[in-house]
Copies of this chain bind each other. A is one copy, B any other.
Amino acid sequence: MKIRIGIYGYGNLGRGVESAIAQNSDMTLAAVFTRRDPSKLTIATAGVPVCHTDDVEQYKDKIDVMILCGGSATDLPVQTPALARIFSVIDSFDTHAKIPEHFLRVDQAAKESGNCAMISVGWDPGMFSINRLYGEAILPEGKDYTFWGRGVSQGHSDAIRRIDGVVDAKQYTIPVDSALEAVRSGSCPSLTTREKHLRECFVVAEEGADKARIEKEIKEMPNYFADYDTIVHFISAEELRAEHSGIPHGGFVIRTGKTGADSATNHVIEYSLKLDSNPEFTASVIVAFARALYRMKNEGMVGCKTVFDVPPAYLSPRSYSEIISTML
């Protein structure tokens, strides 16, 4: 009996989830839900129903875990609590500051309906969070640092596109090598996000546009760029398409700490990701945790959970004895 997964929202993340399900033989895609006209949506998997979100309740007994693939700004704050009343749900809600209130809303909905939910699954929040926790628990006298990149920031790319005279743009967030090295040295430097990252922009300008003015507007844009070292390249639309159409991302979680009778011994724990596709990797993490959620639900767990609640063994399709003998 395979785990029946539903996909709610079919953008980059939804397509990534669809591919990831195909890589896991203990899972099957039960249905895809869209707000668009289902008859106009073609999905990659043959024979799987595409349904309108309005009809989702009809799938109550046909789906074991519903994976929500909407955005954190407006979709998930509404969708996750609403769907947690019908299904066991998992989302990738990534607005860090609003996680506690999202948790409470989803927890209440899941508890009232006897379902199990999991929020903020992906790599940050997600695998990076787990590594921050492991690092602090193992080395309590220490400090952890998170660096992001090299990767595309959609928000910053959009901000550049709104500048007059800009046709298209892509912005990469890049960790500063010297900051990474300072952290790895164990010296526990105080570093702001600005000191840890620089911003590199690839911009397609309108013909005849004033590039100096555009560059100035980018570099002085408050919140987005003014506080960072920013590099601006003007390139052609063809080059942007050819060289910058991917959605790579990644980053580093580094914990340094001291142990021993006089706290004089140094240790460095480093976890890093180098991802050629941010949404596909996020989807792969979600699908592994959907397996765990299915098992936790079957054990009778109810309410909202996070990656912190998941025993690693629950993520693996292998039997416990196989894990012990091959991976421990």
B268–A273 CB distance below 8 A: yes
Q: In this complex, what residue of B is CB-closest to A253?
A: B271
Name the distance in Å between A227's Cβ and chain B's nearest Cβ: 23
A24 adjacent to chain B (CB < 8 Å): yes
Residue from B125, B276, B312 within 8 A of A133 (CB atoms): B312
Q: How distant is A71 from chain B, measured CB to nearest CB, in Å?
A: 18
Q: Does A236 reach chain B (CB closer than 8 Å)?
A: no
With A259-B280, A313-B309, A316-B136 as given contacts, are A270 and B271 in contact (CB-CB < 8 Å)? yes
Please tell me if A141 contacts chain B, counting CB pairs below 8 Å: yes
Rounded to whole Å, the gap between the CB of A254 and the closest CB of chain B is: 10
- Expressed in whole angstroms, the Cα–Cα distance for A47 and B233 within the complex equals 66
Q: In the complex, what distance in Å separates the CA atom of A25 from the CA atom of B120?
A: 30
Q: Which of B127, B276, B307, B325 contacts A99 (CB 8 A)?
A: B325
Contact of A328 among B96, B269, B311 (CB under 8 A): B96
Q: Could you tell me the distance between the alpha carbons of A227 and B16 in the complex, rounded to whole angstroms?
A: 43
Q: Please state if B308 and A281 are interface contacts (CB–CB under 8 Å).
A: no
Mask, A2-35, CB within 8 Å of B = 1, is 0000000000000110011001100000000000
In the complex, per-residue mask of A244-267: 1 if CB is within 8 Å of any chain B CB, else 0: 000000000000000111010111
CA distance A311 to B308 in the complex (A): 6
Given contact pairs A100-B325, A308-B313, A267 touches B276 in the complex (Cβ within 8 A): yes
Q: How far is the CB of A260 from chain B (nearest CB, A)?
A: 5
- Residue A56 interfacial (CB < 8 Å): no
| Contact across chains for B308 and A129 when beta carbons are under 8 A apart | no
Distance in angstroms between the alpha carbons of A96 and B327 in the assembled complex: 9
Within A295-317, which residues are at the interface with B (CB < 8 Å)?
A: 306-313, 315-317
- Asked if A130 is an interface residue, CB under 8 A from chain B, the answer is yes
Identical copies in the complex: 2
Closest B residue by C-beta to A320: B308
* A138 interface residue (CB < 8 Å to B): yes
A191-232 residues at the B interface, CB under 8 angstroms:
none
Residues of B with C-beta under 8 A to A284: 138-139, 259, 267
> Which of B120, B136, B276, B323 has a CB less than 8 Å from the CB of A308?
B323
Say which residue of B138, B277, B288, B306 sits within 8 Å of A288 (CB atoms): B138
A285 is an interface residue with CB less than 8 A from chain B: yes
A273–B267 touching, CB < 8 Å: yes
Q: Does residue A324 face the partner (Cβ distance < 8 Å to B)?
A: yes
Instruction: Assess the A120–B328 pair: CB atoms within 8 A.
Output: yes
A and B contact pairs by CB, cutoff 8 A, 11 listed: A24-B140, A99-B324, A100-B321, A130-B134, A138-B284, A138-B315, A140-B317, A184-B274, A259-B284, A267-B275, A269-B272
Task: Spell out A's residues near B (CB within 8 Å).
Answer: 15-16, 19-20, 23-24, 44, 96, 99-100, 103, 120, 125, 127, 129-130, 132-134, 136-141, 184, 259-261, 263, 265-277, 280-281, 283-285, 288, 291, 306-313, 315-317, 320-321, 323-325, 327-328
* 8 residue pairs, one from A and one from B, having the closest CB atoms: A137-B315, A308-B313, A268-B274, A137-B288, A259-B280, A265-B277, A129-B328, A265-B276
